[in-house]
Amino acid sequence: MAGVSSESLTAALGDLEAVLPSATLTLAQELFGVLATLDSSAGLRRALTDPARRGTEKSALASNLVKGKVGTTAESIVAKLAASRWADARDIGDALETLAATVVIAVAENRTAPALSGSPVSGYNALEQLENDLFSFNQAVASSHEVQRALTEPQASVAARTTLARRLVPGACEEAKVLIDQAVTNPRGLKTTKLIERFAHLAAARQRRWIANVTVSRPLDAARVERLQRGLNSLYGRELKVNISVDPTLIGGVRVQVGDEVVDASVTARLGELRRQLAG
């Protein structure tokens, strides 16, 4: 997905962030259900992505399509997608799949149930569990040609395929089960394992939001490390996993990267900015 479609997906993911703190698996399943409807009708996809139609008209069409069949949050998400611009009719379905999977991943991220050790499960650990469950499923599929044939057998019922898939990872978390069910029942032209890989990559990208890669100009003592941890947790509102590395070329200051966000307070960065200002 590129160009205008990529821009629309980025905007939709940005809007979704407001929903994710209270997201549920029901919301994700509703979005996956709408996706199945879109995939079943090329005419509908063309109608919802027709550049000659106004965004409000396409939004109203999408709302009427799903009203009463899904909750208001899912309806709003689908309507906003329809109002956006798409380079290809399939792109709106790809975007909806990404949004639905992101909701599932966020539900895992939001879990705070006690772990076996008795300590809380952080978002980082919950996402790691989700990734591991997805990878375990793919490994189980890859190890058996018989399973691979069974999961793609056109005569097999949806119930039979999902039952088999869940037996491969009996201890999987609920979020993994939802994503596995989706990959088995509606792979959308991909191999089931390829779609699982895509979901795992989305989870890994989400997990990076819980990792702070900190670069400092000289080693920090334990007290400074503790203050840094507290400060970053407070700044980002979550318990981050902090990785610290030393780079003497920074001269002074600190560089922090959390996900795609970079906070650079190093002397080198400030000198570079000054040089750019002078050059301009």
Residue at a domain's end among 165, 180, 205: 205
The reported pTM is 0.87
Give tens-digit pLDDT for 90-127: 999 999 999 999 999 999 999 864 444 444 457 889 99
Per-residue pLDDT at 76 exceeds 90: yes
Consecutive H or E run containing 244:
strand 241-246
- Tell me, what's the pLDDT at 223? 92
Count of domains forming the chain = 3
- Tell me, what's the pLDDT at 82? 97
Give tens-digit pLDDT for 178-191: 999 999 999 999 99
Give tens-digit pLDDT for 213-266: 999 988 999 999 999 899 888 888 888 899 999 998 887 778 899 988 888 877
- Tell me, what's the pLDDT at 238? 85
> Which pLDDT band holds residue 73 (cuts at 50, 70, 90)?
very high
Task: Say if residue 52 is in the same domain as residue 16.
Answer: yes
Whether 23 is in a domain gets the answer: yes
Residues of the chain with pLDDT > 70: what percent?
92
One DSSP character per residue, 107-150 reads HHHT---B-TTSSBPPHHHHHHHHHHHHHHHHHHHHT-HHHHHH
Task: Say if residue 9 is in the same domain as residue 105.
Answer: yes
Whether the CB-CB separation of 1 and 91 falls below 8 Å is answered with yes
Residue at a domain's end among 155, 170, 205: 205
